[in-house]
Structure 1
């Protein structure tokens, strides 16, 4: 009997009707120079071809929920010692897993973040993402922050903090990083790319104002567990 090699890292993707974007992400994972991984799609009962696409790429599929619930359910069936939480509308460069996982392991930290870059040619989008990145880096001196589309964590650390808080309805990634901070946090060198569909849908100025307001709210009143503005935490 052939003993299958246990995956070192589990890539967990949350989805809801992502037939347009999911193939691009899965193709970018398929092209990785690091090969010892598994892909888990935590799907919130999509009505389109999302699950069919996931199966065609050999992904494990689990019934998901909102952002936090979906990630938690994916992590529950993960076999890897390390976890990488991804958004379906993102893409990763071919050496993303190889270099970032190597750096993450050497750091011996519990969680890791990466820079998120926009899949957009619009200068304003690039500026907003870059400003956000530097804001996160400086802010992480006091409390760790990072984009939600690419979150690294040791499985052990994830379990110790109880995963993502399903009651946090906005910036659940910041809440997770904050609670896991005592186990260490590091920024990793290779960035990833994500769509700007939320900016397109909401409008760029409104998007920026919303995130600034959320940051002020969290600083003064704590995590956001009740609606303070219109936000879809089930699908990006």
Structure 2
């Protein structure tokens, strides 16, 4: 059976109080040089004007797409549940999720379809351009690329699963999914604020390898507040607790691993009120990070 050379790509725009940016996102979908796109907007109980803005935009641009849908709910359900609703509503061979504040490069879907022909891939990581606050050239932070020290995407699914216990090597805004994978895996709705990391863990544990190509797909917006937060919160208690809960759920060996004891130390220091920018916290973070890198390198390059 010949593979479809013009597959339907389902673009799922994930929104929640996205009125400030969502028009940019939708216009970038409209501007795609690839024609066969199904557009789904999945909103998670926005209380601003997001839903009405999307409804008006769809009415004005409906002819651009073979299929469009606007999904709404009365109450906020969390990011994973919102993603699951969007995916369930999709009918394309491929699914591309995008947040309602990011934008596509205009050749994103066309380049993806050309690349994916005749390849057995269910999850494909592409490259991203990072921007601070807006997509003006002077606000470009750089290009996200995978680590050259740890060639995560060259590894088997099982090896990827092992390494995901130590860190996250996949950047969700640049990922395409074959819709068929969602017959076996869905986003874990137990963790309301994080949809991607549990999915990578579950996918690789289930035998689905994550592939990579350096095609640029998305302009990813990093808001000023989050930039500052990421640079200072070395031992963010809430993030640590969520990631630890994920690892405890999906890794039987986690309780005897280095990351488990490292996080116990971080949580202890956080409870004791150590300033996240203090010299001691920075030193501990730096040392434990380097130890983690050594373990990861060993597992990726030496162990079988």
Q: Distance in 1 between matches of 2:244 and 2:230?
A: 20
Deviation string 1:152-184 (CA, Å, 9 cap, x unpaired) is: 1111112222x1111134553132123223233
Q: Secondary structure at the match of 2:19?
A: coil
> Are 2:92 and 1:66 equivalent residues in the alignment?
no
Instruction: Determine the structure 1 residue equivalent to 2:183.
Output: 159
Larger-gyration structure (1/2): 2
State which drifts further: 12-21 or 135-144.
135-144
Post-superposition Cα deviations, 1:6-47, rounded to whole Å, max 9, x if no partner, equal 971111111111111111111111111101011111101212
Sort the Cα spacing of 1:75 and 1:97 in 2 relative to 1 into closer, same or farther, 3 A. Answer: same
Question: In the alignment, which of 106, 131, 134 is matched to residue 147 of structure 2?
Answer: 134
Moved segments of 4+, more than 6 Å: none
Write out aligned runs for 1:188-207 (5 A). 188-191=213-216, 192-197=218-223, 199-200=225-226, 203-206=229-232
RMSD: 3.5
Mind listing any 5+ residue stretches in structure 2 that lack a counterpart?
1-5, 63-67, 133-137, 162-168, 252-266, 271-304
Aligned residues of 1:11 and 1:38 also touching (Cα < 8 A): yes
- For residue 10 of structure 1, give the secondary structure of its aligned residue in structure 2: strand
Q: Does 1:82 pair with 2:94?
A: yes
Q: Residue in 1 aligned with 2:191?
A: 168
2:134 aligned with 1:95: no
- Using the size of structure 2 for normalisation, the TM-score is 0.60
- 1:41-89 per-residue CA deviation (whole Å, 9 max, x = no partner) reads 1101212221122221344111353111001001111111111111111
SS of residue paired to 1:203: helix
Q: Against the structure 1 CA distance between its residues 202 and 12, is the aligned structure 2 distance closer, same or farther, given a 3 Å change threshold?
A: same
> TM-score, normalised on structure 1?
0.76
The corresponding residue for 1:183 is 208
5+ residue gaps, structure 1: 1-5, 230-236
C-alpha change, 1:223 and 1:197, in structure 2 (3 Å) is farther
User: Alignment length, in residue pairs?
Assistant: 216
Higher helix share: 2
